[in-house]
Amino acid sequence: MRRKEKIPSMSHEIVIRYFKEMEIISEGKNFRLVHDDELPSILDALEKFLPHSLKFHQTIKTYLNHRVWQFYFYVSKNWPEQDKAPVFLHFPGCTMTPNNHIYESFGFFCPIDSLECVGMLQTEDVLFNWSVPMYLNYTHVNIVDQMEEFFKTIGRIERIQGEVYLCKDDLDALELGELPSNEVELRPLRMEDVKGIHDLYPASEIESVEVFERLVEVLPGYGIFTIPDDKLAAWMVQSYYGAMFSMQTKPEHRRKGYGIYLAQNLARLVIKRGYKPFVVIRHENEASKSLYKKLGFEKLFDMARIVFTPFQYEDNNKRITNDGQHVNGNTTTHNGVNNHKV
């Protein structure tokens, strides 16, 4: 096991060097690395906590079935003791961060009736260094609320909240409507479509173009293309955590019914692949909520994701800037996460 050194104050350049020197950690203070042959048992454990564990459950399932992205899964050291609540982590939590390092972002799940387990993060000083910025991907809102009790004492928090909607209907119940126009056609997305998709993706600063390439390669979604010039008008993909995400329609093609047609077709495809279709929708996005309700999706619970920046990290970079030294602009790039739409 390689133990991370505690560094009391770090500039952005030091953070970059620090992350580059890190390796995959086999064991932390409270968690251990899960071997791939253990993941089916982890899936079984997570099934007991559905639907709250849905995102983490389908992240592992997608990893086992398709290896869209390289993740490292951790479990609390007390697992599988029957009288102890299991706690799970995965690194990275998203596919792009300022330093593109595995331990810079994370996903987390613990049973909602065992929120005291969140405290294991606070004392985990091997897998986490709370003196540098961290990125938590979408997590059950009750867990995030508990995390914030710790985070707010040592840093600044940027929070984005969304609502989880799950498709309750079975495959046969999802009857397909007709394509709204004979001037377009539906077909699977291809590799040459990826750059255009990623360029217009609202959260392109936290999800890499490479993950979109992998999704199109192994879990292709759908696009609506104009006839006869074959221009992409709208699209939707299945994510590395099993959800339906990144439904986008170019402005000139909006209000034509393309979104609901894409969602119908992708929901059927996701079910055929063995996953539960779900989406995470921003609170203010009433149009998307209405669309998915028409398709038989029902709200389950809220989730949130966080950008955490330690006070001492900000203070140190301000001090360096005031001294006239160069600070890489990536320290603030991810404030743009607030533009994310799901």
- Tens-place pLDDT, residues 138-166: 999 999 999 999 999 999 999 999 999 99
Mean pLDDT lowest among 26-30, 239-243, 335-339: 335-339
Does residue 7 fall inside a structural domain? Answer: no
Asked if 96 and 131 sit in the same domain, the reply is yes
Does residue 4 fall inside a structural domain? Answer: no
| End-to-end Cα distance, the chain | 38
Asked if 278 and 316 sit in the same domain, the reply is no
CATH code of residue 188? 3.40.630.30
Asked if 61 and 76 sit in the same domain, the reply is yes
Does residue 211 fall inside a structural domain? Answer: yes
Domain that holds residue 95: 12-163+303-339
Asked if 52 and 98 sit in the same domain, the reply is yes
Number of helices (H), then strands (E), belonging to the chain: the values are 11, 12
pLDDT above 90 for 16? no
Asked if 331 and 230 sit in the same domain, the reply is no
pLDDT above 70 for 226? yes
Distance between CA 317 and CA 221 in Å, rounded?
Answer: 42
Asked if 255 and 322 sit in the same domain, the reply is no
**57-85 in b/e burial notation, b at 16+ Cβ within 10 A?**
bbbbbbbeebebbebbbbbbeebeeeeeb
pLDDT above 70 for 41? yes
* 180 confidence band (pLDDT: 50, 70, 90): confident
Asked if 91 and 153 sit in the same domain, the reply is yes
Asked if 26 and 142 sit in the same domain, the reply is yes
Helix residue ranges, H only, the chain: 12-20, 39-47, 54-66, 119-122, 141-154, 194-200, 209-218, 258-272, 286-294, 311-322, 330-333
Q: Is the peptide bond preceding residue 80 cis, with omega within 30 degrees of 0?
A: yes
Average pLDDT over residues 329-334: 36
Asked if 246 and 312 sit in the same domain, the reply is no
Encode pLDDT of 239-281 as tens digits.
999 899 888 999 999 999 999 999 999 999 999 999 999 999 9
pLDDT above 70 for 40? yes
Does residue 20 fall inside a structural domain? Answer: yes
Does residue 196 fall inside a structural domain? Answer: yes
Asked if 107 and 212 sit in the same domain, the reply is no
Asked if 281 and 313 sit in the same domain, the reply is no
Does residue 98 fall inside a structural domain? Answer: yes
pLDDT score of 25: 96
In total, how many domains does the chain have? Answer: 2
Does residue 212 fall inside a structural domain? Answer: yes
Asked if 251 and 307 sit in the same domain, the reply is no
Token digits for 199?
């360029």
Determine phi and psi for 33, rounding to 5 degrees.
-70, 135
E strands, 170-231, in order = 184-188, 222-226
Distance between CA 235 and CA 249 in Å, rounded?
Answer: 7
Does residue 3 fall inside a structural domain? Answer: no
